[in-house]
A and B are shown apart, each in its own frame.
Chain A
Amino acid sequence: MSSFSSTNIPPVAEICHIHEDIFSQERKHTKRIRIIGRLQEKDINRHTVVLTSPVTQPNVKHSSVKVCVKLIYPFEARLGSLYETIVEVLQPEEDGNLHAHTWRCMDGLDIIMYYKGIQMRREYFSQRNINQAVPDTG
């Protein structure tokens, strides 16, 4: 039997929303994220696409991201469809610096229920962290 060694298992891809600030201080150490968005533009020559947030949020600074899809083969995409992708985040910010490693069509997804599921998970983890935080004795 065999397994991946600790060095070559990819890091975990945290689930984020496009309208959240991906390059914020909180996510400084995040190397990979999973986002879901609607395909607005695609540039086949430069292997880049633009994904927009599937839910319109008022007063939101970030509503779209540019993703490089050079690593996806075969790359099939329809404009207007919903896609989920795991992207690698490189710092500092450059044009097309989100590199997609996976690409999955999510047409038919109930986006409101999906957001609700993510929200439930986040609330559970934040509640768990509050319950288990212990003060330092030192």
Chain B
Amino acid sequence: MCAVKDPTSLESGCTIIPENRWKKDPLFSCCCNLFIKDILDLRPYPSGSQECVFVYKNHPIRWVTTMGIIVKAEEKAKFHIYAVDDGTGVISCVCWKPKEDFNLRSNGEDGAQSLIERMENWHLEQLSCLEIGDLVNIRGKLIIYREMKQISAFSYGKVVDPSHTLEVRGMQDQVLRYTSVYDNPLKSTEHSGIKDQGTEGIKSMEGISQEVAEKILLVSTREKYQNFHLYELETVPDIYKVCCQPCEEFINGKENGEKSPPSEQIALALKNGVKHLLEKGHIFKSKRDRGLLHLTTANKDLRDVTCRILRAECRKQEYINGCQFQHLYNNIKTRTDFQYLTHSAMRNLLNSLEEQGLVISCNNYQFLPVR
């Protein structure tokens, strides 16, 4: 014989989201269209201090919306209470009557009702028209009153739909929302790669690679390197230190008591870091020596060739107002040494030359040499 687990409880494998991260979950800030059966089974969020925040899978839920038939109605002085049935459960909803605000009433013409008065009367008529058997749509905050869950509505109304499309589509869309949103637990790891609380300081490979890329640039500029090989980077202490940071993809390998990170982690971090720099154009590959990487802005040959080509081309009639970027790029790429130069590297170089006062950029991405 099998017992059925409560689907609304926190399942094993679903991490509890700390209270300061609840706002990252979109379900916390919207009205969730849960079945009334599930709403009644919701339990308070384990890690929360707020009273009326409940858990479904590991989503924090505070506002709900439901469409159902009124099966019981009661009127009090300031509110109505309706018991709403959606076919899976029955929940009571407290619907507050609108307050009469006499300041809104304008002194209109004698005998004529103002527009505000007519709207208020119409709204009150609509509210009093909710009867047993009516299909209503209620949105509100989920609260616990006398150990029973109820919805304190901030929006409610009768569903007037002659073709009943809203009701039918609502049933189908609700199931789709469950399968695509509600039943998928929220993952707690952030995009930056830093885990929260018990595992602080552990970064993802992506995060470490970006730090390695920044460190390579910093060291190269400081030490005035013009080019380097990939394996030489491992010998630089600052770069090696960044590669050795705890990485979540390789953390399991350290369970055997190893203190130093695996060599695969260091190699992967350096390779990804160099890849970032290539994509951004800070370095480019050499044609003659495949493993050699040149720094774009520090390469004197590239700078000299670019200025020479620019001066030669700008003497021609068609480029008298400036040489286009693509034309300049194609010319430089004909040189054997710079065949692997990328667009982004070329842009970085021209920006650097402009900062040094050797080149002026004009309209339409054209460049002129400073004579």
Contacts and interface: CB of A to CB of B under 8 A. Distances in A.
Nearest to A6: B148
A10 B179 contact: no
A120 B175 contact: yes
Residue among A2, A5, A86, A104 with the highest chain B CB neighbour number at 10 A: A2
B164 A132 contact: no
A110 B71 contact: no
Contacts of B90: 9-12
A103 B135 CA distance: 11
Interface string B53-80: 0000000000000000101101010010
Interface string A48-69: 0000000000000000000000
A3 interface: yes
Contacts of A92: none
12 contacts: A4-B74, A6-B148, A10-B71, A14-B87, A34-B87, A104-B133, A108-B163, A120-B172, A121-B175, A124-B178, A133-B2, A133-B5
A103 B7 CA distance: 33
A108 B166 CA distance: 12
Given A121-B175, A129-B4, A134-B2, A10 B87 contact: no
A25 to B, nearest CB: 18
Interface of A: 1-6, 8-15, 34, 86, 101-104, 106, 108-110, 113-114, 116-118, 120-121, 124, 128-129, 132-136
A4 B171 contact: no
Contacts of A114: 164, 167-168, 171
Given A1-B94, A129-B4, A12 B89 contact: yes
Nearest to B133: A102
A126 B151 CA distance: 27
B133 A103 contact: yes
B85 A86 contact: yes
Nearest to A129: B4
B88 A12 contact: yes
Residue among B71, B72, B92, B145 with the highest chain A CB neighbour number at 10 A: B71
A18 to B, nearest CB: 16
Q: Which 8 A-B pairs have the closest CB atoms?
A: A117-B171, A102-B133, A133-B2, A132-B5, A109-B164, A15-B87, A120-B175, A108-B163
Given A12-B37, A86-B133, A113-B172, 5 more contacts: A3-B92, A4-B92, A11-B90, A12-B89, A136-B3
A102 B132 contact: yes
A1 B168 CA distance: 33
B83 interface: yes
Interface residues of B, number: 43
Contacts of B7: 128, 132
Q: Is the interface of B mostly helix, strand, loop or mixed?
A: mixed
A122 B260 CA distance: 55
Residue among A3, A4, A86, A102 with the highest chain B CB neighbour number at 10 A: A3
Nearest to A137: B3
Contacts of A14: 87
Contacts of A4: 72, 74, 81, 83, 92
Contacts of B69: 13, 34, 86, 102, 104
A118 B92 contact: no
Given A12-B87, A86-B85, A132-B7, A101 B71 contact: yes
B162 interface: yes
A66 to B, nearest CB: 20
B5 A134 contact: yes
Contacts of A136: 1-3
B175 A12 contact: no
B171 A10 contact: no
Contact of B145 (A1, A15, A135): A1
B163 A110 contact: yes
Contacts of A103: 133
Contacts of B175: 117, 120-121, 124
A135 B2 contact: yes
Contact of B76 (A2, A106, A116, A129): A2
Contacts of A9: 72, 83, 90, 92
A109 B178 contact: no
Contacts of B162: 108
B150 A102 contact: no
Contacts of A124: 175, 178-179
B163 A2 contact: no
A15 B71 CA distance: 14
